[in-house]
Amino acid sequence: NQGDINFVCNSWIYNAQKYTTPRVFFANKTYLPSKTPPALVYYRQEELKTLRGDGTGERLQYERIYDYDVYNDVGDPDRKASLARPVIGGSKTLPYPRRGRTGRKPSKKDPKSERRSDFVYLPRDESFGHLKSSDFLVYILKSVSQNVIPILTSVVTLQFNQSEFNSFEDVRTFYEGGIKLPTDTLSKFSPIPFFKELLRNDGEAPLKFPLPKVVQVNKSGWMTDEEFTREMIAGVNPHIIKRIQEFPPKSKLDRQLFGDHTSTVTKEQLEPNMSGVTVRQAMQTNRLYILDHHDPFYPYLRKINAADTKAYATRTILFLQDDGTLKPLAIELSSPHPQADSFGPVSDVYLPATEGVEASVWLLAKAYVTVNDSCHHQLISHWLNTHAVVEPFIIATNRHLSVVHPIHKLLLPHYRDTMNINALARNVLVNAAGVIESTFLLGSYSLELSAVVYKDWVFPDQGLPNDLLKRGVAVEDPTSPHGLRLLIEDYPYAADGLEIWAAIKTWVDEYVNFYYKSDADIVQDSELQAFWKELVEVGHGDLKNATWWYKMQNRTELIEACTTLIWI
């Protein structure tokens, strides 16, 4: 007598006529493949076959099939030639993680691209309810894309007689006085709670955004060097800063194509602002750092600057002061040579200033850095490194790890909503003329840039300890908590992150060792081996020859892989 038996049925059920195989639900038990009760083996295998499908046909709303495809559905060449986009993934020039396959027909004008439609197939159980928050997010983002951005552009143009802000006072009106909107605008905004909070209901409703905390304390606080550097270690993109280990900083761009991109920053420019410390001494004592947004952006600058947008590739040199805070020493702005890329960049170095025209120029230089950092955060740190790279893991998990497999149960809560949000993103965020292209620096080259950056993606380095060591902001130290000593002690992202990482790893370690009593159990787990093989060779197939992939031959590798994936 086993007492009560619980069945987990978090799944959409449709008329039986829509299914070619019976729906199977397993009791809330966990078994390695080799430990599966004989009576369940057939059903376990058949369920996985159903979820894999046969790789053909257009997927329908009620289906639960998981399969792979390249990003060939973000362009819309059938609607307009300017909306055509290159296929992302499946090539050496533009490698990318795979997305979920939808099977939609090819577009008429570009057979390599998939025809777009309002419906984007998602394995049905990746969306758990019509009123769920992620479904509501779909509505919000579609509204932003189709209504909010065009309306704001139009209203700002009318109010300021131009399509851009002319001063910081103009920007502040968003937060203080608000922007007057025509009354009929409310009908387009009002269903969205966020915008209902921003809009008044009387007369001409002003659009008024909540004031950022930094500005609430000090209206000009965001303009200070202290806040500029603080955001590099405690802002939205705190994992880019790295220690300078060679001076001047060098570039990895191809010299034959782009010339010499060695930084033009000199020690003579830096040392007067380093409290008597030389560049050499600062490097020897781990006190010289850089926020480097040069290499990823530079190859696209000529294209970006040919339009209305203007941008630079940026390098920001930082000094770790005696009080443990960072201080900016110089910002290098680089743009393409007017003759040709092979001549190398045209670079200018700007130094901190507090008075006169120099202070305004310094503030503008910091603005260019911040714009690059914001774009990097959304396109690389957020979209690529937390959404796109995880989708192949989700697909491979559902195709090869049974719902009763312990690793499936371990990872499933951390996959929640990812495929749903990614499908939405391809429809209204990263698509041609979508929210990202319409509002971000890189415009139509946004997704392409993320593909170029993906070439250097390394899965083990996504784990926090490896990331900190690789960037040189921490060193191994057995006497320190978590075995690492932070070189920037007041580094909130790293300090708090290591606590979270340790908690995740402790849980994963205990969990894995509970089910796998030896490394041999890992090797003999047929589902786990099939999962990992397909993940590497198909899901992240453009990087399948990389030597850094775990071989998945022991518990240590499984623990590291799962901890890293949960951390992501």
Domain ranges within the chain, ordered by starting residue: 133-210, 221-352, 374-567
Averaged pLDDT for residues 206-225: 80
Q: Rounded to 10 degrees, what is the CA torsion of 472, 477, 482, 485?
A: -50
Identify the residue with better confidence: 435 or 229: 229
Give the distance, in angstroms, between the CA of residue 451 and the centroid of all CA atoms in the same chain.
Answer: 12
Report which secondary-structure segment, H or E, holds 346: strand 345-350
Tens-digit pLDDT profile for residues 7-59: 888 888 888 888 888 889 999 999 999 999 999 999 999 999 999 999 999 99
Task: State the chain's mean pLDDT as an integer.
Answer: 88
Structure tokens at 541: 């197939």
221-352: same fold as 133-210? no
pLDDT at 204 over 50: no
CA distance 398 to 101: 14
Question: Each residue of 490-520: pLDDT tens digit?
Answer: 999 999 999 999 999 999 999 999 999 999 9
Fold (CATH) for 221-352: Nuclear Transport Factor 2; Chain: A, (3.10.450)
pLDDT at 193: 45
Measured between alpha carbons, how far is 211 from 218 in angstroms, rounded to an integer?
Answer: 11
- Residue 317 has what pLDDT? 98
Q: What pLDDT is stored for residue 565 in this prediction?
A: 97
pLDDT score for 520? 96
Q: What is the mean pLDDT of residues 522-548?
A: 97
374-567 maps to which CATH number?
1.20.245.10
| Average pLDDT estimate for 438-466 | 93
What average pLDDT does this structure show over 336-345?
A: 93
- Predicted pLDDT of residue 434: 87
Confidence (pLDDT) at 3:
78
Which amino acid is located at 363 in the chain?
A: L
Tell me which residue of 539, 538, 534 sits closest to 391, measured CA to CA.
539
pLDDT category of residue 476 using cuts at 50, 70 and 90: very high
* pLDDT band for position 153 (cuts 50, 70, 90): low
The listed range with the strongest mean pLDDT (143-157, 209-223, 312-326) is 312-326
* Nearest CA-CA partner of 293 in 92, 88, 453: 453
Hey, CA dihedral for 437, 440, 443, 449, is it positive or negative? negative
3-state secondary structure 384-403: HHHHHCCHHHHHHHHHHCCC
Find residue 465's DSSP bridge partners: none
| pLDDT for position 200 | 44
Percent of the chain with pLDDT over 90: 72
Cβ(446)–Cβ(436) below 8 Å = yes
Which is it for the CA torsion 72, 76, 80, 83, positive or negative? negative
| Long-range contacts of residues 19-26, Cβ cutoff 8 Å, at least 24 apart | 21/46, 21/50, 26/402, 26/403, 26/404
Residue (of 52, 42, 117, 122) closest to 78 by Cα position: 117
Reported as type and span, the H/E element at residue 515 is helix 492-515
- pLDDT for position 202: 44
Residue 187 has a pLDDT of 52
Statement: residue 166 has pLDDT above 90: no
Residue 143 in this model has a pLDDT that exceeds 90: no
In sequence order, which residues have a C-beta less than 8 Å from that of residue 8 and are 6 or more positions away?
25, 26, 28, 403
Fold of 133-210: Lipoxygenase-1; domain 3 (4.10.372)
The answer on pLDDT for 474 being more than 50 is yes
**According to the model, what pLDDT value does residue 19 have?**
87
Beta strands in 178-312 (DSSP E): 179-180, 206-207, 242-243, 288-293
Look up residue 487 and give its two tokens.
């070189």
Residue 272 has pLDDT above 90, yes or no: yes
Per-residue pLDDT for 132 more than 60? Answer: no
The Cα 123–Cα 146 span in angstroms is 26
In 53-200, where does DSSP find H-type helix?
A: 133-143, 149-160, 168-172, 186-189, 193-198
Map residue 199 onto helix, strand or coil.
strand
